[in-house]
Amino acid sequence: MTSELCDRHWDVIVIGTGIGGGTIGRHLAENGLAVLFLEKGHAGQRSATNGLGADTITDPTARMTQGWWPDRVSLCLNGRETQPFVPIGAGVGGSSVFYAATLERPEAHDLDDSAERPHPTGGWPVNYHQMLPYYDRAEALYHVRGETDPLNGHSAARLGAPLPIAQGDSRMMQRMRAGGLHPYQLHTALRHLDGCTFCFGRKCPRDCKMDARSAGIEPALKTGRAALLDRCEVTELVGRPDRITHVIARRDDEQLTFSAERVVLAAGALSSPRLLLNSRAEHWPHGCGNGNDLVGRNLMFHLNEMFALWPRRGEAFREHSKSIGFRDLYFAEGLRFGMVQSMGLNIEQGDILHYLRRRIARSRLRCLPGAHQLARVPAIIAAQVFGRAKVFVGLLEDLPYAENRVLPDPARPGGIRIDYGFSEELLERRLIFRRLLRSALKGQKSLFLTHDPEPNLGHPCGTLRMGANPATSVLDPACRVHGLCNLWVVDASFMPTSMGVNPSLTIAANALRVADQIAERQ
């Protein structure tokens, strides 16, 4: 079968099957194009009920089989070198099979420049109004349900009805309203079949949670015009100065060559730049599309500000529901922050203990004999007095800086290196965000769980930024690599700024926009 896939000249090859790749591939296959998906990870393991245990979490083979990125990355964070595993997917559906399915729209100022809300890059080359029909379509494709945000009221025509809300959550929303906030039920990509167990943060065994697999790859394959080759890592793009002619990949130690009229790169914001930088030729001496040394730069993550909120005495959360969000601090005091949302996690005594011990380890108390054990006492008291708490996260927008970048790891062939530092501007904005959060939560029993700034390594973006000017961007406004007539990028790399919301709805909407342009050029 593999040789048949290699022999055929495809209409489109899509590299990577995450939200970007799955969404565009489905749309193109449904519009009559022959699409080949090439995916580094496995197609199997629809459900990950066994998950990764303490004994397997660092085992590359187990990680790969379960759909997680297999290798450690070399991370230089603010000058400190570490080798963590990053929480990104490597399997059919990419990271989205593990995501929490919160598909929220950004706000107009995330994309547009205006006198009231100046945009840090002067604005995206596609404005909010132009994106709106694609947000509608992406919401329909991913069966997004939830309540309209009372502060924005932007088109919710396509939103499905929110799920019935648990009593504890409903009371918490009432208290938030009484405190002047404007909470609403989060927008979630969920068909909600009978017996739904809310697979937020883990693989859904059915077509209930809508991700790139259930809403992208599987419907694409059903058209009969698409094919998928898993365990197939693309290692190089080959071509003429203005055109990709071949895609080189490795599968089971065998080198394979594929060809197509068009190539769509959707390997994720950490991997797509690496592939371009590894694609060198006489006419691409610094890598494909890298004439201006921008490939891999402007890497952004959100900063996570996590806090716990406790219910009132006598109230309890019955389930790990991920239902509440608010945008009161999205843009405040003339600054860009982001939305706040529940994470679908409740914390108990053990989690509070863990948190307190982490704080002690960082403070001068760490020198006190027995301080580690002493933390048990306030943890037990907190858990008994307050009960279980609900965890929230404030997503703080990150902005692009050229020195923050991803590149092939010079120390490990095939590896990823990330150089990332917190700018002064980000750290200052973070302090203000925390102050505003504290003030918004006044009168509620709350506890900040984040101490040091924490980049959300599961939200990388911006590494192949889109722009009208080829001197300052890698992709043109249609997400085509400047100077190449048949290479597009549709994963999170294209984003000029990280916005104040989760990225997936925008990645999906943009993939539909690019798909329309490719289909029209047929």
Ligand X SMILES: Cc1cc2nc3c(=O)[nH]c(=O)nc-3n(C[C@H](O)[C@H](O)[C@H](O)COP(=O)(O)OP(=O)(O)OC[C@H]3O[C@@H](n4cnc5c(N)ncnc54)[C@H](O)[C@@H]3O)c2cc1C
- Whole-number Å distance between alpha carbons of 508 and 20: 6
Sheet with 389-396, edge to edge strand ranges = 184-185, 324-326, 340-347, 389-396, 303-309, 446-448
Region 464-503 residues binding ligand X, contact defined as CB under 6 A: 491-492, 502-503
Residue 228 pairs with which residues in a beta bridge? 37
Nearer to ligand X, 375 or 475 (CB): 475
**Site membership for ligand X, residue 463 (CB under 6 A):** no
Tell which residue, 184, 176, 125, has the closest CA to residue 153: 184
Q: Print burial letters for 33-45: b (CB count within 10 Å at least 16), e (below 16).
A: bbbbbbbbbebeb
* Contacting ligand X within 33-72 (CB under 6 A): 38-41
Q: Is 10 a binder of ligand X (CB under 6 A)? A: no
Q: What are phi and psi of 392, to 5 degrees?
A: -120, 155
Classified as helix, coil or strand, 491 is coil
- Closest by Cα among 258, 235, 255, 234 to 246: 258
To ligand X, the closest distance from the beta carbon of 144 in angstroms equals: 11
Among 25, 168, 239, 458, binds ligand X (CB under 6 A): 458
The reply to whether 150 sits near ligand X by the rule CB under 6 A is no
Cα 78 from Cα 76, distance rounded (Å)? 6
Q: Is 15 in the site for ligand X (CB under 6 A)?
A: yes
Q: How far apart are CA 130 and CA 153, in angstroms?
A: 18
In whole angstroms, how close is the CB of 92 to ligand X at the nearest point?
7
Q: Quick one: DSSP state of residue 202?
A: S
What residues between 399 and 438 interact with ligand X by CB under 6 A? none
Classify the phi-psi angles of 455: left when phi > 0, otherwise alpha if psi is within -120 to 50, otherwise beta.
beta
d(CA 381, CA 315): 18
CA distance 323 to 173: 10
Stretch that binds ligand X, among 97-105, 120-128, 289-297, 308-316 (CB under 6 A): 97-105
Which of 94, 289, 311, 387 binds ligand X (CB under 6 A)? It is: 94
Residues 189 to 208 in contact with ligand X, rule: CB under 6 A? 201
Instruction: Name which of 268 and 289 has its Cβ closer to ligand X.
Output: 268
Between residues 102 and 473, which has the closer beta carbon with respect to ligand X? 102
Pairing of strands 243-251, 233-240: antiparallel
85 versus 422: smaller Cβ distance to ligand X = 85
Angle at which helix 504-520 crosses helix 128-141, to 10 degrees, equals 100
- Nearest distance, CB of residue 494 and ligand X, angstroms: 9
| 234 appears as a binding residue in the annotation | yes
Q: Which residues pair with 281 in a beta bridge?
A: 284
| Interface pattern 328-367 for ligand X (x via CB under 6 A) | ----------------------------------------
Nearer to ligand X, 300 or 379 (CB): 300
| Count of residues of this chain found to bind ligand X when the rule CB under 6 A is applied | 42
In the chain, how many H helices and how many E strands? 13, 21
CB of 497 to ligand X, least distance (A): 14
Q: Which is nearer to ligand X, 271 or 486 (CB)?
A: 271
Which residues inside 244-303 make contact with ligand X, applying CB under 6 A?
266-269, 271, 275
Tell me how far, at minimum, the Cβ of 247 lies from ligand X, in Å: 9
Pick out the residues of the known binding site for FAD: 234
Interface residues toward ligand X, by CB under 6 A? 15-21, 38-41, 87-91, 94-96, 98-103, 201, 233-234, 266-269, 271, 275, 458-459, 491-492, 502-504, 507
